[in-house]
Amino acid sequence: MSNRPNSPRWYGIPWRVLLATVLGTLICFAISLLIGILGTVVVSVIRGVHPDMRVAYRLVALPIGIAAGTIIFVVALVMEIRHYRQARVLSSIENSGSRAAPRIAIPLPHSTDHKYGKRAISQYERAVVLAGGEPVRIPLDRSAEEVTSLMAACDGVLLPGSNADVDPVRFDQQKSPHSAAADLRREEVDDLLLEHAYRSRKPVLGICYGLQSLNVFRKGSLIQHIPDSLPEATRAKVNHEAGRKVAVAHQVEIVPSSLLAAVVAANGTTHLPVNSSHHQSADGIGEGLQVAARCTDDGIIEAVEGTDADHFVLAVQWHPERSVDDDDSSQRIFRALVEAANSRKSTPGSATHS
């Protein structure tokens, strides 16, 4: 049995911060004083004068100790506040009821680039946990029967991003020289998860590559390289490949009547700042899907969703898992998936549909 308190205590933060600051300052002061003393002795011997240890104390150790203490205090305080916020979320999840958390299937992002796959999937798993769900990692090296069995024990599916591109043969195009190699095993597992989710009416959330995978699964097509599809005057307005270091790459305009608007536009806004790490996007929209958002600067499709009001299907081209700690809209996206999974799980007679 865990002895952790049911709710984190804010007043525990100052004590830990002060303790870390005091210990860190003393250590830095002691080290810098020792170095200062040795330096003073060496300089004095070279110059042939009596060493003045006040120099080591006043001009070396004391300034370094004060600077180090300030830095340690600020860093420790920021870390403790962030930890406290996360602990509050997790605590509310643990105390929200006795019902088991809905299980969300997440395939590994890549079948051969294991280092990338393990690093990337942890962000999605954490976002699901913070939203109140239980992530279930789906390996890409299992048989179709094993994958289907794992998915059958889950209540929803999250298709993560990937550093692969969907095989363009699937939407009747020649491969662009800009397209990355396809990950056929990831595509097979995505299809298995989507087949089960659609058959069983389990909620689906796609992110970046997950949007593209969903759209192709529903017989849609993709733009293989966004710059090639845009007029020259528009091409330079947005860098869709900006990457994770750019917190806000551009704005998206959300369709007001869409599911996405209901999920993220709590304050009535139809424009949302987003990050961006993709060079492909949806083109022809798949069966049973509709556009939910576009980039305001160049019209690139940034979100799609299902047309069936009774089946939660949503996919976004940006990466809300990266901003889930600080951005309310990102949090809402994952909560919407988990709540949809929980609602379906709690509904009597939610058996598999043919």
Least confident among 91-105, 238-252, 340-354: 340-354
At the topology level, CATH places domain 103-346 in Rossmann fold (3.40.50)
* Contact predicate 132/335, CB 8 Å: yes
Give the mean pLDDT of 146-175: 97
Which residue among 80, 125, 321, 339 is the active-site one? 321
| Furthest CA-CA distance within the chain | 94
Our answer to whether residue 114 is catalytic in this structure is: no
* pLDDT-based confidence at residue 48 (cuts at 50, 70, 90): confident
- Locate the domains of the chain by residue range: 12-94, 103-346
| DSSP symbol at 230 | S
Which of residues 349 and 27 earns the better pLDDT score? 27
* Contact predicate 96/88, CB 8 Å: no
* pLDDT-based confidence at residue 62 (cuts at 50, 70, 90): confident
pLDDT score of 57 more than 90: no
Amino acid letter, 310: D
Our answer to whether residue 145 is catalytic in this structure is: no
Which residue among 208, 240, 302, 305 is the active-site one? 208
pLDDT score of 3 more than 60: no
**CA nearest to 240, candidates 202, 199, 282:** 282
**Distance between CA 88 and CA 94 in Å, rounded?**
10
Secondary structure element (H or E) that encloses residue 206, with its range:
strand 204-207
| Average pLDDT over all residues of the chain | 87
Which of residues 346 and 251 earns the better pLDDT score? 251
143, HSE (Cβ side, Cα atoms, 13 Å): 3
* pLDDT-based confidence at residue 350 (cuts at 50, 70, 90): low
pLDDT at position 2 is: 41
**CA nearest to 333, candidates 240, 250, 244, 265:** 265
Which residue among 110, 196, 319, 339 is the active-site one? 319
pLDDT at position 351 is: 47
Our answer to whether residue 295 is catalytic in this structure is: no
| DSSP symbol at 59 | I
pLDDT at position 20 is: 78
Percent of the chain scoring above 90 in pLDDT: 64
pLDDT at position 349 is: 52
